[in-house]
A and B are shown apart, each in its own frame.
Chain A
Amino acid sequence: MKLNTRNFGEIEIDENKLVTFDETIPGFPNSRRYAFLFDEDKNSPFCWMQSVDQGEVAFALLNPVDVLPDYNPKVTAEELAILGEVDMSEISVYNILVVPPRIEDITVNLKAPIVINLNTKKAIQIILSDDRYKVRHNLQQEVRSQKEGE
């Protein structure tokens, strides 16, 4: 299907690859279905989660696996139950990026990751109770400190 977007103009998306938020992302009650748009560079830790229901809504996401190796969000069984039948190997976690006027000040939300069940294609934004994780972590500082900790 064709989709008009704020960031990418008109794009073609595969309806079979959409993820659905049964419980919508806080602040976006009218967007349930999203398409993932990946960079041509397969090694990029970034991707986009573009709303299918509202073309102007898109989130830039970080895949923390490589750049924040210490990030270890504990997701409860209750939270996972919302995603349907769960096999842990089918779970993907992403973090939302926020860019203030100075790009160096970019922050990553480690408190409320997007968790996706690749099998059922259901997703949810969970809010971790872990106090180590905040809504705004400076991404560059975080990447450097986790690298030094290796």
Chain B
Amino acid sequence: MLALTRKKGDSIMISDNIEIVVLEVQGDQVKLGINAPRSVTVHRKEIYDQIQQENKSAQMISKDTLTMLGEMLKKNIE
């Protein structure tokens, strides 16, 4: 992993269109600003990991399960 030391107000460029700015440093917290094209999505890693895990868990569902579920849900709605 590339490691760079930066001060408050400094930034780094990733490729020619993504800028990450150190906005604030307080104790063990760092506030970052990100300038990136609209097509680039930015997420907190722990949330991204959680979504990824959930998407994988979603693969366990079978066709029969969904049919049963339809019946169950009907009872709830009616």
Write the residues of chain A forming the contact surface with B, with a CB cutoff of 8 angstroms: 7-8, 22-23, 25-28, 39, 41, 44-46, 48, 56-60, 67, 78-79, 81-82, 96-99, 103-104, 106, 109, 111-112, 125, 127, 135-136, 139-140, 143-144, 147
Q: Is there a chain A Cβ closer than 8 Å to B58's Cβ?
A: yes
Report which B residues bind A (CB closer than 8 A): 38-39, 41, 43, 47-48, 50-63, 65-66, 68-70, 72-73, 76-77
Is there contact, CB below 8 Å, between B77 and A44?
no
A99 close to B51 (CB less than 8 A): no
Rounded to whole angstroms, the CA-CA distance of A26 and B70 in the bound complex is 27
Q: 9 closest A-B pairs (Cβ-Cβ)? A: A26-B52, A27-B52, A27-B55, A81-B38, A99-B61, A112-B51, A60-B61, A78-B38, A7-B63
What is the distance, in angstroms, from A64's C-beta to the closest C-beta of chain B? 12
